[in-house]
Structure 1
């Protein structure tokens, strides 16, 4: 299904279908703000949970933008199953064109999908390959409201702050214990530690099941990595890293009770920050908030700030049509 929009340029929109996978993925890779989370092999791992309504937007027959998203009743989410999923833009697009893209997309969603509101998860600027915040300006002009703001803790790796005393003390303890770090595919040994941590602290399970994260790793072996801290054969803790062009993002972090006592994560983060990902622009520990930013986990934030991380925002906007 497509709809033409009458402007000074010829715009038309196509709703994504499986036959569009190759050109969708090709555009994500060359866009100025796309990451592997917006590739279809990642987006579609939980396709059964969401009614996909992703859009391909053309200007004069040239693919100019993508809008990943799903429908929930009369609301369009971009994207409900992802950490972020805003408009993906070509490197050459101008602000005026982005404004036209939004008008075309909103017109399509309202007329063809009976959408009454948009929930828009903006891509944080640290993930942009080239400046790409035209969408935030256009949303403001359209009257969108900022409805959620979550704090994520980030280290700019070319200008790091030193570890705090507590973190250095724990690092020293870990070094004295002769712990080792393994980068491998043994997700099964890490997952019980992660599940126990999340259940004990928050009463929840990981967003991904063990089978799902293993499958995603098989699709993205260079972007999704597991690091484990070990004492001989025993796994004491670890993390799963999502690597994009600019950022090493901590998707999951957990340690066993013994791992916490002996500084396993301090050793791991020192290795990742100062060695493994030292050439990246940013090291992102992820958010320390719940309920759209209204609840701050101060203990978790204190730990991340102890490594030198400071705040950026993961923002969500709502626009009523």
Structure 2
């Protein structure tokens, strides 16, 4: 092994959290406090820490489980994003060594598959695709490529009327109608108690019409808000004091706010609460200094595009990005290719 490796334990919690806050691609989804919201026993957590001279240079937040009958080490099945999270400024050769050490560690655990979904580059404090490059050179392949859409908040004007001009005309009309109808927008709503119950009821009914259920239970959202209150941001739209729609955002890091849930009462759709909520979130995220507002993916399993959802997001001057998931099959049979790492003698000759 090139690095000193160890599996995470609770004595390293504070150090792990500090590292995530400074890492090149660290997000809310990589904090132990986020991973803690899962009920005990849901995942066989097995996180890997890479050190050099005692300092953390990378982490792998992962869990062991069966996927399609194959023993797998996944980063992370309980989070939107996982991946090999690295210290800023780590060189390309060092990143290749990280990938090699990760695969060798997976071999020792007896798994046959490695899978990860790194954050897209808009989440990076220090943009780098060295990890993705090394993964592909090591034999990882794309398992799927999702399409996510985000607003570049830094490119938007500061004046609200000028922001509205960036939207589709129908969307501007919808926002103005919502305001004429007297919708009240409430920010900083507690993700707990009565207000969470009101939002979750709207969310459940909305998702039931689509034949699905929310990713999180109400209790899980309450638990998450207890563990990381600064990272959840709930806004409600009310008509005559009655909540009719809501949007729950995750503060992923100082770069990105992510729209995770947005829902409305079907019978109140004519008041156009959703365009108003999205617009208010754009303004709020911009005022708080985020670079990007991520609307989330517009794709489904089986390489399907949710065309209507993608088109709705395009009304708000979004840009498109890929969210890639990588997989390495046959971990036990893995060997680095002839040119995966430099030949030692040649490197020494070049250095003279």
Q: TM class by shorter-chain length?
A: over 0.9
Residue 81 of structure 1: aligned partner: 78
> Among residues 134, 146, 152, which one is paired with 2:148 in the alignment?
152
- Tell me the residue number matched to 1:110: 107
Instruction: Give the distance between the partners of 2:240 and 2:80, measured in 1 at CA.
Output: 35
Q: Deviations over 1:127-155 (max 9, x none)?
A: 11111321100011111111111111111
Equivalenced residues, count: 310
Q: Does the alignment pair 1:290 with 2:300?
A: yes
1:170 matched to 2:174? The reply is: yes
Cα contact 1:190–1:238 (8 A) shared by 2: yes
Task: Tell me what 1:181 maps to.
Answer: 185
Write the distance in 2 (CA, Å) between the matches of 1:180 and 1:50.
41
Quickly say closer, same or farther: Cα 1:13–1:245, change in 2 above 3 A: same
Counterpart selection for 2:216 from 208, 211, 216 = 208
Matched, 1:134 2:127: no
Q: What TM-score do you get using the length of structure 1 for normalisation?
A: 0.92
CA contact (8 A) 1:259 1:265 kept: no
| Shift, 1:266, TM fit | 1.3
Equivalent residue, structure 2, for 1:306 = 315
Q: Report the counterpart of residue 251 of structure 1 in structure 2.
A: 260
1:238 paired with 2:234, answer: no
| Corresponding residue SS for 2:19 | helix
Match runs of 1:40-119 below 5 Å? 40-46=32-38, 47-73=40-66, 74-111=71-108, 113-119=109-115
8 Å CA contact retained: 1:89, 1:132: no
State the distance in 1 between where 2:113 and 2:48 align: 16
Give the SS at the match of 2:6. strand
1:35 maps to 2:47 = no
Deviation at 1:301, TM superposition (A): 1.1
The alignment yields a C-alpha RMSD, in angstroms, of 1.5
Name the CA distance, whole Å, in 2 between partners of 1:200 and 1:290.
Answer: 17
Question: d(CA) in 2 for partners of 1:158 and 1:32?
Answer: 20
SS at match of 1:48: coil
| Structure 2 residue 190 is the aligned partner of structure 1 residue 190 | no
Between the aligned partners of 1:75 and 1:37, the Cα distance in structure 2 is 20
TM-score by length of 2: 0.85
Greater alpha carbon shift after TM alignment, 275-284 vs 227-236:
275-284
**What is the CA deviation profile of residues 77-111 of structure 1, one whole-angstrom value per residue up to 9, with x for unaligned ones?**
11111111011111232111111111112111102
Of structures 1 and 2, the larger Rg is shown by: 2
CA distance in structure 2 between the aligned counterparts of 1:127 and 1:189, rounded to whole angstroms: 31
Aligned residues of 1:217 and 1:225 also touching (Cα < 8 A): no
Secondary structure of the 1:251 match is strand
Unaligned runs of 5+ in 2: 157-164, 332-352
* Shift, 1:39, TM fit: 0.8
Q: CA deviation at 1:273?
A: 1.1
Q: What secondary structure is seen at the aligned counterpart in 1 of 2:155?
A: coil
Kindly indicate whether the alpha-carbon contact (under 8 Å) linking 1:151 and 1:288 is maintained by their aligned counterparts in 2: yes
Return closer, same or farther for 1:276/1:158 CA change in 2, 3 Å cut-off: closer
